[in-house]
Amino acid sequence: MKETVLFLTRHGQTEWNLQKRMQGHQNSALTTLGEQQAEWLRDRLEGENIGAIYSSTSPRALHTAQILRGNRSLSIHQQASLMEINMGIWEGMNTDQIEQEYPLQYSHFFTRPDLFIPPAPGET
């Protein structure tokens, strides 16, 4: 039986990551470091036999996938089902502000995701 190896990664660092802003479905461009992170991973995986690349439809994830693909002649399969969850009104907010205004939800998001209830119109 042929073994399948699955590599999972997240997008590189974004502008909003630097600003400590919640992303969710909203997009933020990769920083120079975020692009370098994708390049480092691409170089690390150079000897791997990669047969397919899947990405969410988020521009930051797609940009990361394009860098990871490098010179490989592979299509990038975009899947909306791989999107980050919708964070509702938290999207774009600074995490310090979220922690002050929604202390219990914020705590649950990071420490007890099983109890997390996102603010409207977010999703679980």
- The CATH number covering residue 73 comes to 3.40.50.1240
As a whole number, mean pLDDT of residues 39-60 equals: 96
Same domain, 23 and 76: yes
Query: 73 and 14 share a domain?
Result: yes
Cβ–Cβ under 8 Å, residues 95 and 34: no
Residue 11 appears among annotated catalytic residues:
yes
Burial 54-82 (b: 16+ CB within 10 A, else e): ebbebebbbbbbebbbeeeeeeeeeeeee
113 Ramachandran zone, left/alpha/beta (phi>0; psi -120 to 50): alpha
CA–CA dist 63, 11 (Å, integer): 8
Mean of all residue pLDDT scores within the chain = 94
Share of the chain above pLDDT 90, in %: 85
Range of the domain at 93: 85-124
Examine the domain organization and report whether 38 and 57 are in the same domain: yes
Indicate whether 1 pLDDT > 90.
no
Regarding whether 50 and 107 lie in a shared domain, the answer is: no
The whole-number pLDDT of residue 30 equals: 98
pLDDT at 122: 66
According to the model, what pLDDT value does residue 124 have? 58
Same-domain pairing of 71 and 113: no
Q: Are 64 and 90 in a shared domain?
A: no
Q: Is 84 a catalytic residue?
A: yes
pLDDT value, residue 118: 81
Catalytic choice (48, 84, 99, 101): 84
